[in-house]
Amino acid sequence: MRLDKFISDSGIASRRESAKAARLGGITVDGAVVKDVSKHIDPEKSKVTYLGREIIYRRFTYVMLNKPEGYVSATDDKSLPYVTELLPDELRRQELFPVGRLDKDTTGLMILTNNGVLAHSLLSPKKHVSKVYCFTAAEPLKAGAEEMFKTGVTLADGYECKSAELSLSEDRLSGEITLTEGKYHQIKRMVAAMHNRVVTLERIEFATIPLDKSLSRGQWRYLTEEEIKILENANKI
């Protein structure tokens, strides 16, 4: 495998960035500086360092995106902007897809990967992966809403939601909701069940991984090794 592909697949840097780092002497293979990233290496056996850090080869790619409003959680759409349009060609070629959906008007943390097995499993209701959302509502939430969320809100179609955590601002017009399931329009429907309406919704955490505040809307970055481990461990539970 080419050295630059090995580096970009591992999520450390793009091919262009790795070519630049190599020219500056920042990449070694088995202890020797390599200036040409077209060199072929054995991903399983070669020891590669990038700017002093050893690269652990990853078959899959994981990124975090700060989803802007107006984008659909899809890898293609004929008429609407879709989230993978926000990724560079190099990543789009790796066929990343979103782990779970956010509504078109929901913003915030979205994880994308090409590890279909892990993504599918993280979304399984059995895994109870937590997701935290910040919201604002049209009216102050009614007294006792926190308790109702804890007990399990019943949606208009009769579905009984699992216990969720609701913490509200003093004026009860905004707050945070932690869910361990992910039904279609779930928060909007939970708030609607309280005869109220969600005005804005942002996901700020997935599986305890917080949205990186340094990412503006539409920006992305690779997940760190620690964050990938969190996903893998959440999957084992």
CB closer to ligand URA, 172 vs 185: 185
Asked if 89 and 194 touch (Cβ cutoff 8 Å), the reply is: no
Pairing status of strand 220-222 against strand 209-210:
unpaired
| Active-site pick, 30, 76, 103, 171 | 103
Q: Across-strand partners of 176?
A: 134, 167
Q: Indicate whether 103 belongs to the interface with ligand URA (CB under 6 A).
A: yes
Write down the least CB distance from residue 36 to ligand URA, Å: 46
User: Binding to ligand URA by residue 201, rule CB under 6 A?
Assistant: yes
Site string for ligand URA, 145-184 (x = CB under 6 A): ----------------------------------------
Which contacts qualify for 168-173: CB closer than 8 Å, 24 or more apart?
Answer: 168/141, 171/140, 172/140, 172/141, 172/145, 173/136, 173/137, 173/139, 173/140, 173/141
Q: How far is the CB of 61 from ligand URA (least distance, A)?
A: 24
Q: Pick between residue 90 and residue 103 the one whose CB is nearest to ligand URA.
A: 103
Specify the pairing of strand 198-206 against strand 107-113.
Answer: parallel
Has 4 been annotated as catalytic?
no
CA distances from 149 to 132, 162, 165, 173 (A): 14, 8, 6, 16
**Cβ 201 to ligand URA shortest distance, Å:** 6
* Beta carbon nearer to ligand URA, 55 or 168: 168
Beta bridge partners, 154, equal 160
Report if residue 186 touches ligand URA, rule: CB under 6 A. Answer: yes
Query: Which of residues 7, 102, 145, 228 is near ligand URA by CB under 6 A?
Result: 102
Residue in 15, 39, 127, 188 binding ligand URA, rule: CB under 6 A: 188
Is position 106 an interface residue for ligand URA (rule: CB under 6 A)? yes
Count CA atoms closer than 13 A to 58's CA, side-chain side: 24
Contact 225, 64 (CB under 8 A): no
Active centre residues (catalytic):
103
Residues near ligand URA (CB under 6 A) are 102-103, 106, 185-188, 201
